[in-house]
Amino acid sequence: MKRTFYILSVLVILLATSAHGQQLGRNTQFALNPYLANPAYAGTQNAIPIYFSYRNQWTGFKGAPVTMTASAHMQGPKNSGFGAILQRDDTGGAISRTSLEATGAYHIDLNNYDGISFGLGLSANQFKVDNSKLVVMDESDQALNAMQVESAMNIDANFGMLIYGEDYYFGFSSPNLIQSKLKVTGVNPDDNRNARHYHIVGSYTYDITEDFDIQPSGLIRFTNNTPPQMDMNVRVGYQKMAWSSISYRIKDAVALSVGGTYENFVLAYSMDITTSKARVMSPFTHELVMGYVIPGKRGRNIVRAGSSHKSLSKKRIVKIK
Residue 321 lies inside a defined structural domain of this protein? no
CB of 105 within 8 A of CB of 116?
A: no
Residue 309 lies inside a defined structural domain of this protein? no
Residue 311 lies inside a defined structural domain of this protein? no
pLDDT at 226: 83
Angle formed at CA 44 by CA 78 and CA 3, multiple of 5 degrees: 110
Residue 314 lies inside a defined structural domain of this protein? no
Residue 194 domain boundaries: 2-295
Any long-range contacts for 269-274 (C-beta under 8 Å, 24+ apart)?
270/28, 270/29, 270/245, 272/28, 272/57, 272/247, 274/58
Tell me, what DSSP letter sits at residue 9?
A: H
pLDDT at 282: 74
pLDDT at 12: 38
* Distance in Å from the first CA to the final CA of the chain: 25
pLDDT at 113: 78
Number of domains observed in the structure of the chain: 1
Return d(Cα 61, Cα 63) in angstroms, integer: 6
Residue 300 lies inside a defined structural domain of this protein? no
Q: How many C-beta atoms lie closer than 10 Å to residue 262's C-beta? A: 10
pLDDT in tens, the chain (321 residues): 344 434 444 443 343 333 333 447 788 999 999 999 999 999 998 899 999 999 998 777 777 788 999 999 999 998 999 999 999 988 766 778 899 999 999 999 888 778 999 999 999 998 887 766 666 666 666 666 656 677 888 999 999 999 998 899 999 999 999 998 887 765 566 677 888 999 999 999 999 999 999 999 999 999 888 888 899 999 999 998 999 999 999 888 999 999 999 989 999 999 999 888 777 777 889 999 999 999 876 543 333 434 443 332 334 444 333
Return d(Cα 137, Cα 191) in angstroms, integer: 23
227: domain CATH number? 2.40.160.40
Residue 98 lies inside a defined structural domain of this protein? yes
Residue 59 lies inside a defined structural domain of this protein? yes
pLDDT at 78: 87
Residue 209 lies inside a defined structural domain of this protein? yes
